[in-house]
Amino acid sequence: MAPKTILVCLTTPDHAETLLKVAVPIARKHGAHLIGLHTVEALVVYPGIAMHIPDTAFASFNESQKKESEAIKGVFQKHTRSEDFVSEFRLVRAEAQSASERMIESARAADLVIMAHEDKNSDRYDQRHAQTQVIRESGRPVIVVPLEYDGPEIGANILLGWSDTREAARAAHDMLALADDGASLTVLRVQKSPQDAFKDSDAIDMVEMYARHGLKPTLVHRDPMGGSIADVLQNVAFEEGADLIVTGAFGHSRAYDFVLGATTYALLRDQKLPILFSK
């Protein structure tokens, strides 16, 4: 089923430019309703701290928020005004909640969420780690786009990182909504190649399923050779000329991820291509 409601989370004017270059072609291709969401930061005053904040400080804070919101709205309108699909800019106040909580609320009614890679230099405090939170808590597939990304439209050549997990299966089927008719698809299993390729029945079943959908899938095994799974995914995606990496996200507990690290965190730290994460 093609995505008909797409939520793009807009944090800064520069990031909005990058995200809309990815989001608008997807919305155009599928005739989707595109929602541009920007959250306005709340000025939080903690009751346990006795201090006076002058009215001028509130006024200055509100004015800076207004200017940024108007700039982001301008970028959104520039990219959508000439399009035939329905577009909607939403300005939501965080109030006592964080920006990520507001994003999660809005994401639940969307078929697809698109976000920018984390930017420690410009993200507000309440926007930090929003990607992780939205992927974990929204229940929706999330595409994270590298900062200043300027690549091809998504859908013609995709790489799926496959493993025998619930999260990978979710990602594998979420991806179908974005794949072009007859798209090339690399199903990548990061492990030593089995001596008998026909013994990898789960991956073969996935390839056959995609072929029934009219895609052009290829099953590839790649030995990590001591490297990380994240590095192998990105290297093979580069070799194949992929326009999107698709992978399951956070298949382990938070404690495991914190102590040992995980592929999802590695991809979120350093990515070269848009990545679709499904949890």
**Cα–Cα nearest to 237, from 170, 148, 136, 152:** 152
The pLDDT score that the predictor gives to residue 192 is 65
Residue 50 pLDDT more than 50? no
Q: Which of 24-28, 92-96, 128-132 is predicted most confidently?
A: 24-28
Residue 33 neighbours by CB distance under 10 Å: 17
CA distance 58 to 49: 17
Burial class (CB in 10 A: 0-12, 13-18, 19+), 260: exposed
Structural domains in the chain, CATH included, are: 5-145 (3.40.50.620), 157-278 (3.40.50.620)
Percent of the chain at pLDDT > 90 equals 63
Region 220-248 average pLDDT: 92
- What is the C-alpha to C-alpha distance for residues 159 and 188, in angstroms, rounded to an integer? 7
The mean pLDDT value of the chain amounts to: 86
* Least confident segment among 52-61, 162-171, 176-185: 52-61
At 257 the pLDDT is 43
Segment among 38-52, 73-87, 157-171 with least mean pLDDT: 38-52
Interior angle at CA 233, CA 229 and CA 236, nearest 5: 130
Which is higher by pLDDT, 52 or 63? 63
